[in-house]
Structure 1
Amino acid sequence: MHIEVRGLNKQFGDFHAVRDVSFDIERGKLIGLLGPSGGGKTSILRMLAGLETPSSGDIMFHGKRVNELPPQERGIGFVFQNYALFKHMTVYDNVAFGLKVKKQPKDKIRERVMALIELTGLKGFEHRYPHQLSGGQRQRVAFARALAPEPQLLLLDEPFAAIDAKIRGELRSWLKELIERVGITSIFVTHDQDEAIEVADEIMIINKGRLEQKGSPWDIYKHPQTQFVASFIGESTIVEQVDQLKGFEEAAAWPGTQALIRPEYIEIGRRHEFRIPSATAQGTVRHLHFRGSEWMVEVEVDGIKLITYRSLEKEVLQPGQDIFVLIHRAYLFNDNDNWIMENRLKEDPMPIHI
């Protein structure tokens, strides 16, 4: 299903939950609606499903306006974060429920249900009840039930929120593979960055009811278009006096400009470890945090605190140790513009506007 949304707004009394949101979703794409709690993600999802009516704007499926179309006529499957399974029904009957409502022939129902049970890895569990299943298995039943009527659009509202971290990680990979095999357009709501980046083909960042940016996880991470997106995605440090950092003195030409510096923009170590040692500044290690696969290091340079990572394969640093710091680039922003500036002491001294 191809989806077009134009000028979508939703108000609940004086509260403006969704503000002039417009986007297109290509058929077969898996889209992540990502943003802080209360940002408007679920309101958008519920309007697409027909569970909420837009205050204004248009929702179109395959070019047809569906604003007044009831949920059951939109060709949608919905997966809730709390599973919403029928406790008194077996796995088989839960998956078959939508098909029975549509009065499909029994042999067709059985063929479809057993195919989905196989597809979702639930073979052998079809006669069990929800209370006899793990959280991950219950969520798989919810997916199978949503897919049973062969919807054109699958909507998922924080589908892994009620599942523990280990199982959640396994289900992410499983969901992406499932959607690719089925080929259905899908949209899922999440506030988990890792989840969105790992699962989604494209991410839509929603904040205060507005669509901040839409694009692939890679594009959004590497080329944030707003200050909010830059600070929301990944770890970073906001620096108010970036012109005090070595190689970024030219930032003084833009009064009031701040910088966002990601950990991967920073390299630390002894002087001999750097290809361009003249571009480094002296700093001090303040704290180290073991992250399993690497060290997270807090460093201070000219009174400015920064965060970066260091490989376990390199010499272990110590708090209070003097080191050299190379800041490769910084994401600069002010009230009028945003851009990436490379360290002027490296090969490319010019700002790169995005």
Structure 2
Amino acid sequence: MHIEVRGLNKKFGDFQAVADVNFEIEKGQLIGLLGPSGGGKTSILRMLAGLETVDDGDIVFHGKRVNDLPPQERGIGFVFQNYALFKHMTVAENIAFGLEVKKWSKQKIKERVAELVDLTGLSGFEKRYPHQLSGGQRQRVAFARALAPEPQLLLLDEPFAAIDAKIRHELRSWLREMIDRLGITSIFVTHDQDEAIEVADQIMIINKGRLEQKGTPWEIYKNPESPFVASFIGESTIIEDVSALRGFGGSAEPGTKALIRPEYVEIGKASDFELLSATETGRVRHIHFRGSEWLVEVQIGAAKLVTYRSLEKEILQPGDEVRVLIHRAYLFNDTDSWVMENKLKEDPMPVHI
């Protein structure tokens, strides 16, 4: 299903929950609505589903305006954060519920339930009740029930929020594989950037009711279009005065700030760097073991940065003096934003240590 949203607006009292949102989604894509809590993600999802009215704007499914259509006529499946399963019904009965409402024949219901039980890995659990299932199994039942009527669009509201970390990771991979197999257009809401990056074909960053940026996870990470997107995606540090950074002063106007990601920063001893003139002296403040690497906090003058360091390299200790090379920075001011490379990497100067 091709989806088009034009000038979408929604207010709750005086609160502007969604403000002039526009986007298109191609058939078969899995889209992540990502942003902070209260940013408008769920409001957008509920308007797409028909669970909230639209104050202004158009929602178009496959060329047809659906603003005034009730949820049951929009061809959607909805998976809620809290599963919303019927406690008094078995797995099979929960999956079949929507089909019975639509008055499918008993034979067709039986065949569809069997198909979805197999698809979602619930074989052998058909006669169990929700309280007899794990959190991950209950979520699979919720997916199966949403898919039962063969919707053209699947909407998921924080689908993994109520599941522990290990199962959540497994379900992410399962959902990605299932969507690929079915080819169903899907939109899921999350505030977990790792989840969105791992699962989604494209991400839409929503903040204060507005669409900040839409693109692939890599596009958004590498080329953020606003300071909010740059600071929201990935780990980073904001430096208030970019002129304090070696290789980045001079051309930047007063008031320009710098956002530095950990992978932009390299630390080591003087002998580790060919372009020593592009580095400056820093001091290790803290180190944190992250399983596959170290996260190192280092201070340069008044600025504090973080960077990653391989487990294969010499272990640093708090208080160690190191050389710090900032390869690039995301710079922004009140009117513009851009990525800048360390100028001294291309035009080295003599350095005294």
TM-score, with length taken from structure 2: 0.97
Deviations 1:50-89 (A, max 9, x none): 0011100000001110000000000000000000001111
Secondary structure of the residue that 2:250 maps to in structure 1?
helix
CA distance in 2, matches of 1:119, 1:254: 58
Secondary structure of the residue that 1:250 maps to in structure 2?
coil
Equivalent residues in 2 for 1:19-168, closer than 5 Å:
19-168=19-168
Deviations 1:140-162 (A, max 9, x none): 00000000000000000000111
CA distance in 2, matches of 1:291, 1:163: 22
Secondary structure of the residue that 2:39 maps to in structure 1?
coil
CA offset at residue 192 of structure 1?
Answer: 0.6
CA distance in 1, matches of 2:66, 2:91: 32
Write the letter of the residue equivalent to 1:311.
S
CA distance in 1, matches of 2:248, 2:77: 51
Write the letter of the residue equivalent to 1:182.
L
CA distance in 2, matches of 1:40, 1:241: 32
What's the counterpart of residue 276 of structure 2? 277
Which 5+ residue runs of structure 2 have no aligned equivalent? 349-353
TM-score, with length taken from structure 1: 0.97
| 4+ residue segments displaced more than 6 Å | none
CA offset at residue 191 of structure 1?
Answer: 0.5
Deviations 1:91-137 (A, max 9, x none): 01111111111111111111111111101010111111100000000
Write the letter of the residue equivalent to 2:148.
A
* Aligned CA-pair RMSD: 1.1
What number of residue pairs does the alignment pair up? 348
CA distance in 1, matches of 2:204, 2:274: 38
Task: Note if contact 1:245-1:302 (Cα within 8 Å) is conserved in structure 2.
Answer: no
Write the letter of the residue equivalent to 2:319.
G
Write the letter of the residue equivalent to 1:90.
T
Matched, 1:236 2:233: no
Task: Note if contact 1:342-1:348 (Cα within 8 Å) is conserved in structure 2.
Answer: no
Identity of aligned residues (%): 78
Matched, 1:288 2:287: yes
CA offset at residue 305 of structure 1?
Answer: 0.8
Secondary structure of the residue that 1:249 maps to in structure 2?
coil
Secondary structure of the residue that 1:246 maps to in structure 2?
coil
Residues 1:348 and 1:82: Cα distance change in structure 2 (over 3 Å): farther
CA offset at residue 348 of structure 1?
Answer: 8.5
Q: Which stretch shows the higher mean deviation, 1-10 or 339-348?
A: 339-348
CA distance in 1, matches of 2:299, 2:240: 14
